[in-house]
Structure formats: C-alpha cells, structure tokens
Copies of this chain bind each other. A is one copy, B any other.
Amino acid sequence: MTRASRKATIYDIARLSGASPSTVSAALGESWRKRRISESTVEAIRGIAAEQGYSANMQARGLRQARSGLVGMVIPLHDNRFFSSMSQSFEALARDRGMVPVIASSMRDPAEELRIVETLISYAVEYLIIAGAADPDAVTALCRGANLRFIFVDLPGQGAPSVVSDNYKGAADLTRRLLADRAITGTSGKDRLYLLGGDMGDYASARRIEAFRDVLTEAGQPPLPEQIIGCGYAPRRAMQEMAQLCTRIGGLPSGIFVNSLTAFEGVLRHLSGLPLEDVRASVIGCYDYDPFAAYLQFPVHMVRQDAHGLIREAYRMIDENPHDPVLKMVAPEQIAPRTFYDSPFSDRG
C-alpha cells in the first residue's frame, strides 16, 4: 500500500484503474467472464489490486451475499487431547471446503456455551458443530430459531442430528479387558472394580456407566452404587475422590476404570504417592488415550476415541443434510497397555 492509513477497497482500485467499482468486483472475482469483462481489463485491475495489497472485506461481502464463509465449532476445552484433536480435524476439513473455521470453548459452562452459540449466530456461521454440549436442548432451540444447520458431536441432542462415540461398546470392552486381566471376585470392598470420573448426568458417561454395570452384572458381580464415582472431569477432584476411596476401603481397589484423561491425571497424582507394587497389583483402565499415559510405571488399558472420525462424519452429515435427525455412532478403539497409536498428524508436530 502506498498510504497505509486504511485498507484498499474496490473503490480505490476503481479510481486507480479508471474502471467502475462493479467492474473491479467482477474482475477480482469469478464472474468477470459472465459479465463480459475483457481479459486485458481484468489483468490490469488485478495488477493494481495486487500492488495495493487489496483483499476483500468479508463483512461487506458476507452482508451482501448472506453467507459468511464461516463454520463454527464449540468444544468444552482446548487444553485437552481429545477435543484438540477434534479441532485439528475440524479445521482441516473446513479448509478443504474453502471455509473458515471458528472454534470456541465453553469451559463446560452451559451459560457460556449458549453465549458462544449466540455470538457465532451473530457472525452468521453457516454450520455449527457442538462437541460435548453442556446444554444440548437450549442450543437446539437457539439454532432452530436462527435457522442454522447444526450438529452435535460426542454428546447428542434430543431430536437433533448427532455423531457420537460408541460409548457403550467402548466401555463394555474396556470393562471386559479389565476383568480378563485380573481375577476380581467382587466379594469385598477392595476386591471390586471401581469407575471414577465423568458426570452421571452427561450422555457419554451415562452410556459408559450402563455398559460398566451390564458387564459386571453379567460377570456375576453387579456393582454397588459406591463403585461408581461420577466426580466430573477435573484432575483435582478426581485425586480427592481417589484418596477418599482408598481410605474407605483400606487401600487400592483391585481395578479402576477411569472415565477420562483429565480424571486420570488426578488418579495418577494419587497413585504416584503410593508404593509401586501396590499400584501394580491393581488393574487400571482409562477411557481415552495418551501416548505418555500409555507408558507409565504400571500398565494402563486405554480406549482411543476417533476424534477425526467423529468430525468426518459430522461434516458428512452436514453435506447430506438429512430430513430426519440421525444418531451416527463411531467406534472407539481399544488400545492395549504400552502401545503407541499413530495419529494422522504424527508426521507433524
């Protein structure tokens, strides 16, 4: 730019090129052939535009065309392996279709989540993915009101298109693996399998708990209420609950099913204060995968949720735009202790 006071507009380019603004607009876009602008004019205009560092004002274009080019996604947290993998896939797929991704995190706060959705609607996002929704019904109402195409991921919405992990199968398989790894009789407080972490109320946890319950029941040891500790996702809270549990039953239980990586952080924190042989006497599973967590001082059975698959299916559903709300399931993957999973982005870092 010769004068850096302001961004160049098509009117500036028009003045400099001697053409009209509409000609400039056409020349810089795709429509110049249709509008019968001569190639020489187009080239001249494009030259000047490049010289001036012109770039279109998307607010003006969006206003006129009633489309913004934005796709939105709401996640609970950035700072989380599962959701940040989703972000990576979401962004890649958005750019593949020439759209600009906008990702916002709600901190699992329903009010914040709603505020974010409203904001994204204000910015006229064309589609919206809501991952791990805190209040799916309110979000559904908002999106319906704004006539916005939206889709839930990880946590489904009532009567809204959703893509979720197959939490039941993932948790059932993990529970079976834990039972197969150690003989657990279920006859004393210590000799039981405990599930720790997650909210009783949220869909994913509910399905996992259901699976946990069913598998234990099949195995002839239906779980007592105190075997299921839905203490949320926060590391600190999980650590406290873990400590309490150990105090209550007088030591580590035979097996622990940890419901998320963040909760596992807290559990690990507790375990790290115990003698290693005690920890190794327990069998430990975690519903989520992390390469470092896979190689701790004790073996951990893990489940890798297919973040990329979830997002891919979400986009597919957006494209197909089904008349009736669909619930699509994506299978998670069981990861044996001490195993590395090759992420699609492991050639980057």
Chain A contacts to B: CB under 8 angstroms: 1, 4-7, 53, 55-60, 62-63, 68, 77-81, 84-85, 87-88, 91, 100-105, 107-108, 118-119, 121-124, 142, 144-147, 232-238, 260, 262-263, 265, 268-269, 272, 290-293, 295-297, 338, 340, 342-343, 345-349
Cβ-closest chain B residue relative to A269:
B340
Contacts of A297 in B (CB 8 A): 295-297
Residue from B5, B57, B236, B338 within 8 A of A272 (CB atoms)? B338
CA distance A121 to B8 in the complex (A): 12
CA distance A78 to B87 in the complex (A): 6
Taking the nearest CB of chain B, how far is it from the CB of A170, in angstroms? 19
- Is the beta-carbon distance between B144 and A4 smaller than 8 angstroms? yes
Contacts of A296 in B (CB 8 A): 292, 295-297
Residue from B5, B79, B147 within 8 A of A5 (CB atoms)? B147
- Is the beta-carbon distance between A59 and B124 smaller than 8 angstroms? yes
- Is the beta-carbon distance between B77 and A79 smaller than 8 angstroms? no
- Is the beta-carbon distance between B146 and A53 smaller than 8 angstroms? yes
- Is the beta-carbon distance between B102 and A232 smaller than 8 angstroms? no
- Is the beta-carbon distance between B81 and A104 smaller than 8 angstroms? no
CA distance A57 to B105 in the complex (A): 22
CA distance A108 to B347 in the complex (A): 11
Taking the nearest CB of chain B, how far is it from the CB of A218, in angstroms? 30
Residue from B263, B265, B291 within 8 A of A268 (CB atoms)? B291
Q: 3 closest pairs, A vs B, by CB?
A: A233-B349, A262-B349, A292-B292
- Is the beta-carbon distance between A79 and B85 smaller than 8 angstroms? yes
- Is the beta-carbon distance between B80 and A84 smaller than 8 angstroms? yes
